[in-house]
Amino acid sequence: MLKVFKYTLIDLARNRFVLGYALLMLFVAEGLFFVEDDPTKALLSLVQVVMALVPLIALVFTIVYSYDSLEFTQLLAVQPIARRSILAGQLLALCTALLVAQGFGLGLPLIVHLPNMAALMLSLAGSGLVLVFTALGLLIALKQREKARGVGVGLTVWFLFVLVYDALLMALMFSFSDHPIEPYVVPLAALNPVDMGRILVMLQVDLAAMMGYSGAIYKHFFGSLGGIAVAAVVLLLWFFGPTLFSFRTFQRKDL
Amino acid sequence: MAEPRITFTDVGKRYGKLWALRELNVAFHPGEVVMIIGPNGSGKTTLIKCLLGLVRPTTGSIAVNGEVIGTDPNYRRSIGYMPQISQFPAALTIGQLLDMMRDIRGLNDAVVDDRLINELGLDKQLDKRLSDLSGGTRQKVSAVLALRSKPEILVMDEPTAGLDPVSASKVLGHAAEVREQGGTVLITSHLMEEVEALADRIAYLEDGQLRFILPMDEILQSTGQQRLAKALPLLLERKLAAGMNV
């Protein structure tokens, strides 16, 4: 597994897309801190960018990379090495490459301009999203035989998580505005890793007051250490769930 | 005759409703080169993929050196494989790829046979990125990867496609060496002229079924031809006339 990881990482380290991702994040983060006088406002804008961009990049890149390396994966699969080692090495390398790129592009400006808990939370939430959507991307690539179809499914998943889910949640809250449904919004929001990442960061910049009753519930729940631990566990489940399915799929897949 | 090195017993592979391979019963022996031929979609690649563990047979079993292959990947230690399409990680160099495969196979320098690297002129290109290589050079790298571990079983899918005649001849020369050392070589190729001199037996597949597997000499003698490309159509015609459903 470590051998596959090592050489896949060497390959990814020179990948233009990964380098471009690091530079794009750096450009966006530095740009926002440059145009906003208040670093906290820049952070809030950055949250929106990260929550939309990170899942998209992680999904699409993982899917495209997986399809492009299919012939090489076949060559690895005819070596005396277990399939689970191949997949684990590739997944670990993809996550590492994207996390390092994000650490450089996002983490560095945050350390320089706003070294506080909110920035740390944004970095952690962003890293969590990289893991979750890389795992989802890998599963999609393994389930779909055609590259175009795989990318299409990936974009649909991104659209669902980033836009549709929020819209549905808001519609639900609006429809049942006469009822006390806020307590149910917390677990519903936690089902979406993008929403959960956003809430965790927002609570660190004390925007709960602007989020009304739901904000108070979020703060009550996620504001505690226990809540943060639950959030971390949910993100890990979002990572390990698709990963386990990927291993099962790859083990049985005809290459 | 020696114990078979590879035995297919009732092997079938179904993709959806289509049987790509049906009731395949055949054995391949040490010290022989078998050329697997047949029209497109006849099941050649599926046969190879079943042996390599890339696809799981729907029915039947495959044994290598008497052991039925399952999920344990160790049997592949004895197999060298040269695929038809060679696609490698773009940013790695040839040298890094060779190191990677040596590490994965757990080979040490005493076991590795790197003569082909020099013979194919790759020794001067070891620092070149794989993305910068022509299709032919990628095939050469692929041949080196298949042959450098001195495999007991060598599987080559269209080995000469994309190679210049000199390189093709060198690669086939090394395949012949594998046979001389008691190895089993399976080759699929549409370019019969290039491979026929090497082949001991010819296996003909059609519609996923093995129609015949015959010694090369027998095919040429029975048809009175010198070349396989001419002998094969005659043989197929005869078998058709004899009602053998070919």
Q: Do B104 and A13 touch (CB under 8 A)?
A: no
Chain B residues within 8 Å of chain A (Cβ atoms): 15, 49, 52-56, 71, 73-77, 79, 81, 83, 85-92, 96-97, 100-101, 103-106, 145
Residue A48 pLDDT more than 90?
no
pLDDT at B245: 52
| Maximum C-alpha span of chain B | 58
> Among residues A129, A136, A169, which one has the least CA distance to residue A150?
A136
pLDDT of residue B184: 95
pTM, two decimal places: 0.85
Higher pLDDT, A72 or A181: A72
Cβ-based contacts of A83 with chain B (< 8 Å):
73
Cβ contact (<8 Å) for A80 and B76?
yes
Paired strand residues for B215: B201
Give the tens place of pLDDT for each residue, B216-245: 888 888 888 888 888 888 888 887 777 655
Residue B1's pLDDT is 60
Burial of A192 (0-12, 13-18, 19+ CB in 10 A): buried
Confidence class for position A141, pLDDT limits 50, 70, 90 = very high
Residues of B in contact with A6 (CB under 8 A): 100
- Total number of domains in chain B: 1
Judged by CB atoms closer than 8 Å, whether chains meet at A80 and B88 is answered as: no
DSSP string, B97-118: HHHHHHHHHT--TTT---HHHH
Does residue A208 contact residue A217 with C-beta atoms inside 8 Å? Answer: no
Q: Which residues of B touch A69 (CB under 8 A)?
A: 87, 89
State the Cα–Cα distance between residues B131 and B80, nearest whole angstrom. 23
Query: Which tens digits make up the pLDDT trace of A195-220?
Result: 888 877 877 776 655 555 555 666 67
Which ranges in A36-164 belong to alpha helices (H)? 39-68, 70-77, 83-102, 108-113, 117-143, 147-159
Q: A2 CB near a chain B CB, below 8 Å?
A: no
User: Is residue B246 domain-resident?
Assistant: no
Indicate whether B7 pLDDT > 60. Answer: yes
Across chain B, mean pLDDT equals 88
Cα-only R_g, chain B: 18
* Contact yes or no for B81 and A3 at CB 8 A: no
Q: Which two tokens stand for residue B28?
A: 């391949």
Find residue B81's DSSP bridge partners. B155
Rounded CA-CA distance B40/B100 in Å is 33
**Is B68 strand, coil or helix?**
strand
Q: Which two tokens stand for residue B167?
A: 């390189």
Give residue B56's pLDDT band: very low, low, confident or very high (50, 70, 90).
very high
Give the integer Cα–Cα distance in Å for B212 and B210: 6
**Distinct helix (H) and strand (E) counts, chain B:** 8, 10
Compute φ and ψ for A165, nearest 5 degrees.
Answer: -60, -45
Residue B210 pLDDT greater than 70, yes or no? yes
Task: State mean pLDDT over B16-36.
Answer: 93
A210 Cβ under 8 Å from any chain B Cβ = no
Q: How far is A78 from chain B (nearest CA, A)?
A: 6
Distance from CA of A5 to the nearest CA of B (A): 10
Closest CA to A96 of A193, A194, A5: A5
Amino acid code (one letter) for B85: I
Q: Show the domain range for B148.
A: 6-241
A77 in B contact zone (CB under 8 Å): yes
Judge: B87–A12 Cβ closer than 8 Å, yes or no. Answer: no
> What is the ipTM for the molecules in this complex?
0.82
Per the domain annotation, does B173 fall within a domain? yes
CA atoms within 13 A on the CB side of B107: 24
**Residue B127 is part of a domain; what is its CATH number?**
3.40.50.300
Alpha-carbon span A85 to B46, nearest angstrom: 24
Q: Which of B53, B55, B100 sits opposite A7 (nearest CB)?
A: B100
Residue A255 contacts B, CB cutoff 8 Å: yes
Q: How confident is the model at residue A228 (pLDDT cuts 50, 70, 90)?
A: confident
Phi, psi of B197 (to 5 degrees): -65, -25
Q: How far is B20 from chain A (nearest CA, A)?
A: 13
Tell me the chain A residues in contact with residue B104 when contact means C-beta distances shorter than 8 Å.
3-4, 76, 79-81
Residue B1 lies in a domain: no
| Torsion angle of the four alpha carbons A248, B78, B152, B65, in this order, in degrees rounded to the nearest 10 | -70
In chain A, residues 10-39 whose CB comes closer than 8 Å to chain B: 10-15
Q: Does A237 touch chain B (CB under 8 A)?
A: no
Interatomic CA distance for residues A101 and A107, integer angstroms: 9
Residue A81: closest C-alpha in chain B: B73
Residue with tokens 């233009």: A16
Instruction: Give dist(CA A254, CA B48) in Å, integer.
Output: 13
- Candidates A41, A47, A29, A165; CA nearest to A104 is A29
The predicted structure's pLDDT at residue B85? 81
Kindly list the residues from chain B whose CB atom is less than 8 angstroms away from the CB atom of residue A7: 89, 92, 96-97, 100
B70-115 tens-digit pLDDT: 888 889 989 999 988 888 888 889 999 998 888 888 887 767 778 8
Torsion of CA A65, A71, A73, A74, to 10 degrees: 160
Structure confidence at residue B220 (pLDDT) = 86
Strands, sheet with B184-188, edge to edge from the N-terminal-most edge strand: B79-82, B153-157, B184-188, B32-37, B201-206, B209-215
Whether residue B57 lies inside any domain: the answer is yes
Confidence (pLDDT) at B115: 85
Question: Is B113 buried (19+), middle (13-18) or exposed (0-12) by CB count in 10 A?
Answer: middle
Q: What is the pLDDT of residues A51-108, one digit of tens each?
A: 999 999 999 999 999 999 888 898 899 999 999 999 999 999 999 999 999 999 999 9
DSSP B215: E
Query: Between A7, A15, A70, which is nearest B96 by CB?
Result: A7
Q: How far is B118 from chain A (nearest CA, A)?
A: 23
**Residue B44's closest CA among B194, B211, B174, B161?**
B211
Q: Average of pLDDT values for A34-46?
A: 87
In a 3-state reduction of DSSP, which class is residue A136? Answer: helix
User: In this complex, do B104 and A80 lie within 8 Å of one another by their Cβ atoms?
Assistant: yes
Q: Which residues of A touch B91 (CB under 8 A)?
A: 10-15
Within a domain: residue B137? yes
Q: A76 at the B interface (CB within 8 A)?
A: yes
